[in-house]
Amino acid sequence: MRKLVIDLGHGGYDPGAVGKGGTKESDVVLKIGKYLESMLKEVDLDVRFTRMSDKYVSLGDRVEFANNFGADYFLSIHINSASDSSVRGVEVWKYNNDDKHLNEFCSSLCNEISGIFNIRNRGVKLSKGLYVLKNTSMKAALLEVDFISNNFWSTPSSFTYSCNFSSSIASFLNPSPIRSSIKSVNSWLQCINHLLNVIPFVLLLNFSGYIS
């Protein structure tokens, strides 16, 4: 069974970015993580989280956890921030371009999130300085879901957004019997919407196909 570590950024005395109304990045990604935990019980992946409470976990401990677990994949979830409150958009960071499947996964992730939520696709970016990407020994990506500095994240709809994002990941990873008969992204979306009635679905791509 493949192993996936989902890293929920910040926590404890490190709130990460703080939006208008005091919305904290650490709280939003933790909410996403808790939904994911409950939804990913039956997936054919051994899924672990770097934190599941509002506690501080150092970058070194996050990396050590993933490496010691022997994870095949590492996905770190964050929310960006900017001085301009009108800025929105999704971006994914990786360490290099060496892995074709990871490249395709990151690109598709940006495309789908930006398209469904009608936010800017800020693209896939490289960083040699992001500690969790540099020091993990498996295929790793860091997702910046959106900008918490945007006014959107100070409204009640942001709760629905985070829940839908969680549902998207869970459904995307869930090896449903129907999944084997799906021939296209569009038909996959239709089946998921019909079965689970959770909209929108963000990660409309085959996780095991892109990250193999």
Q: Are strands 90-94 and 121-126 parallel, antiparallel or unpaired?
A: parallel
Angle between helices 25-39 and 157-173 (to 10 degrees): 40
Coil, helix or strand at residue 90: strand
What's the CA dihedral at 145, 4, 193, 111 to 10 degrees? Answer: 40
144 classed as catalytic: yes
Those residues whose C-beta lies under 8 Å from the C-beta of residue 186, and which sit 6 or more positions away, are: none
Which amino acid, residue 132? V
CA-based R_g, the chain, Å: 16
> By the 8 A CB rule, do 183 and 49 touch?
no
Please pick, among 25, 91, 112, 144, the residue that the annotation labels catalytic.
144
Q: Which residues are catalytic?
A: 144
